Amino acid sequence: MMTVIHHAAHDHNMWLVLLASLVCVGGAWWVFRLFARATVTTGLQRNAWLLLTTIAGGATMWCTHFIAMIGYQFHLPFKLNPLLAVLALAIAMAGAGAGFWVAGRRSPVAAFAGGAIVGLTIAAMHYTGMLAYHLYGTIVWDMNYLIASVLLSAAFAAAATRIAVVGTMPHQHTIAGALFALAIIAMHFTGMVAFRVEPAFNGIPAPNTQALVVLALGIASVGLTVVATGGASYMIDARTRADTFERIRHLAFNDSLTGLPNRASFHEHLGRELSRAHCDGAELAIVCIDLDRFKELNDVNGHAAGDTVLQTVGERMQSLLSEDNFVARLGGDEFAAVHRLRDEQSLSRFLENLWFALTGPVQLDSHSYLPGASIGVASYPHDAAAAEALLNNADLALYRAKSGRMEKICFYEAAVDDAVRIRRALANDLREAIAGDLLEVHYQVQTSIITGETKGFEALLRWNHPTRGAISPAEFVPLAERKGLILQLGEWVLRRACTDARSWNNDYSVAVNCSPLQFAHADLPRLVMSILVETGLPPRRLELELTESAIFADRERALRQLHQIKALGVSIALDDFGTGYSSLDVLRSFPFDRIKLDASFVRELEKSPQAVAMVRAILALGKSLDIPVLAEGVETRGQLMLLQQQGCDEAQGFLLGRPAGLAEVLKRMAHGVFASRNDSASTALRNSDAA
């Protein structure tokens, strides 16, 4: 090693050695930046980066060699064979291309082998370049140093490519470039120690040193130009990649319509702000925002008008963005904001500015439009500490603001908003119960008052909540209607009731209640037919119950669907008769198969003569229209006796039989309880006759 260093220091022009080293190190750094691109691309891009790597690598080897050779002090004249010099360059290019192509196959063995090829190429280029010099003397080689130079070159180059391809260390490509430069320098100067010239005769004039320096500078310029071309390509690509990444990031974290940060950006910012506030003991306000009447705007003026409003509001909100204020569009007409509370008035000022941005006039094509907005606010750490809880609380406050007429900015109040939270949680539980088949259907017997015979059963939905216990249908059915679950719920009940009724070994009918929303939003006749075919239940055994409101919600559509269902052979009953505004008009509009007298009349039979008179009138109306009447909610023998006296056809209620699950109903059927006469009805009728 000391011999090599001594030789490099004493037998060379140190300025040219320094120049060769700079060319070598700079070129090697760029070579492995270019090679890094080749290892992460495919197809034509990979081939293009390998070509640039080859050119830069070959030029670096060749220029380093010839600049250093020009700096070698021969002390005797020489001639340079240009053909062999060009051949050395060709060897450098070809060998570098082959070596980097093999190394770029991304396996440890290939990386090592490719580097070894590059190292051997450095040696081949060096000794071919040595042959280009014709000297006036005899060349003597030291084979030990010659072999050592080849091995050093191959080892350092193999290490360089292996680190570049499979390494995981920081700055691995810089380290690889340094090893590649070391391979070239170690090979050259070790090879020069192996080289010695014995002059043929004395008195030979020394070569022109100035001319050699000019030649060295020319070679360095050419080499640096070639390497710089590859470097420029690398930098252009890096800039393009950075710009592309920035565009992709902008698209990923910003809303394309308004330019505001989007939902992902909002959640990222909220997480950072909560962490900062936790460390600093600061306070934050989380704001949820909805534009009012936005759907109406789209329906009346078109989506282009809606986009104009969103863009205008978005531009105004962008002016609010600052270190303390962050506003984002979550989607549709939903926005959210995070505000750092600096003092008692900062939140009020921010909300005031936000309100003006949201409600200022927007110029549409034909007129000026005044948007409205609802705002809900929750604060950290007073209302919650976690991001999700804060957003939920702000959303609850927003819900209250949307529901109110006067107060459009509402702050979270646990006592008021927790009731909404409970309803939302219950709605989620109901959704899971429907999907998980966790609901139950109980059946209440419907009995002929005249004969005591069982006519059928009404399907009654039951929900036994895992933590809240039994929940009344009066609570969860309206909830299902508000939360958009009623269609799923109605389909589930209808399918279950038809399936259960099919398992009965008799002709009892099953009555299923239908929500008005099923008539308004669903193709109910097709659903009924599909379920009847699926379950195998004869249509005559199914009865659908509906109230007056189901018809008046969309009279024409509802009546059309009722006629289609009746055409299938399914019976239609008018439920809760007498409690609506237009019961007689409803009876006139459709030929119902049964009228169900509301339980509120039955409860008053024993206490109110007016109730008796009204029941008598309803029963007379049923007889005149030839429509059987079933009385609901019969709980006492007195009620049953009065209904019998007035000529009521059928009844159901606790007196005649409590609702029971399918297993219990099947058990009673197996014991003949419903075979011919309902025992409860028969006993009640006998007692009433005796009285």
Q: What pLDDT, on the 0 to 100 scale, is given for residue 689?
A: 45
What's the CATH number for 426-690?
3.20.20.450
Across 141-150, 221-230, 537-546, 589-598, least confident range: 221-230
Q: What pLDDT, on the 0 to 100 scale, is given for residue 177?
A: 87
Q: What pLDDT, on the 0 to 100 scale, is given for residue 226?
A: 63
Over residues 618-644, the mean pLDDT reads 92
Q: Which residue has the higher pLDDT, 64 or 494?
A: 494
Strands of the sheet containing 372-380, edge to edge, are 325-331, 334-340, 284-292, 372-380, 409-411
Q: Report whether pLDDT(134) > 50.
A: yes
Q: What is the pLDDT of residues 470-505, one digit of tens each?
A: 998 888 888 888 888 899 999 999 999 999 999 998
Q: Report whether pLDDT(446) > 80.
A: yes
Cβ(130)–Cβ(84) under 8 Å? no
Q: Report whether pLDDT(408) > 80.
A: yes
Q: What pLDDT, on the 0 to 100 scale, is given for residue 688?
A: 44
Q: Which of 248, 353, 349, 256 is nearest to 310 (CA)?
A: 256
Over residues 629-640, the mean pLDDT reads 93
Q: Report whether pLDDT(438) > 80.
A: yes
Q: What pLDDT, on the 0 to 100 scale, is given for residue 483?
A: 83
Cβ(266)–Cβ(336) under 8 Å? yes
pLDDT band of 120, cuts 50, 70, 90: very high
Q: What is the pLDDT of residues 211-238, one digit of tens each?
A: 445 454 555 566 566 666 656 666 666 6
Instruction: Please calculate the CA angle 276-277-280 and round it to the nearest 5 degrees.
Output: 85
Q: What are the angstrom distances between the C-alpha of 521 and each of 49, 486, 518, 525, 530?
A: 60, 10, 6, 12, 17
pLDDT band of 518, cuts 50, 70, 90: confident
Q: Report whether pLDDT(288) > 90.
A: yes
Over residues 253-258, the mean pLDDT reads 84
Q: Report whether pLDDT(174) > 90.
A: no
Over residues 652-673, the mean pLDDT reads 88
Cβ(548)–Cβ(586) under 8 Å? yes
Q: Which residue has the higher pLDDT, 353 or 204?
A: 353
Q: What pLDDT, on the 0 to 100 scale, is given for residue 19?
A: 80
Over residues 524-550, the mean pLDDT reads 92
What residues form DSSP beta bridges with 542? 510
pLDDT band of 11, cuts 50, 70, 90: low
Q: What pLDDT, on the 0 to 100 scale, is given for residue 335?
A: 94
Cβ(502)–Cβ(535) under 8 Å? yes
Over residues 559-579, the mean pLDDT reads 90
Count Cβ atoms within 10 A of the Cβ of residue 682 and give its class: 0-12 exposed, 13-18 middle, 19 or more buried: middle
Both tokens assigned to 267:
């959640």
pLDDT band of 208, cuts 50, 70, 90: very low
Q: Report whether pLDDT(437) > 80.
A: yes
Over residues 346-355, the mean pLDDT reads 91
Q: Report whether pLDDT(328) > 90.
A: yes
The secondary structure of residue 72, as a DSSP letter, is: B
Q: What pLDDT, on the 0 to 100 scale, is given for residue 316?
A: 92
Q: Which residue has the higher pLDDT, 123 or 239?
A: 123
Q: Which of 600, 601, 638, 636 is nearest to 619 (CA)?
A: 601
Architecture (CATH level 2) of domain 263-412: 2-Layer Sandwich (3.30)
Alpha carbon distance, N-terminus to C-terminus of the chain: 129
Full-prediction pTM beyond 0.75? no
Q: What pLDDT, on the 0 to 100 scale, is given for residue 238?
A: 64
Domain boundaries, the chain: 2-242, 263-412, 426-690
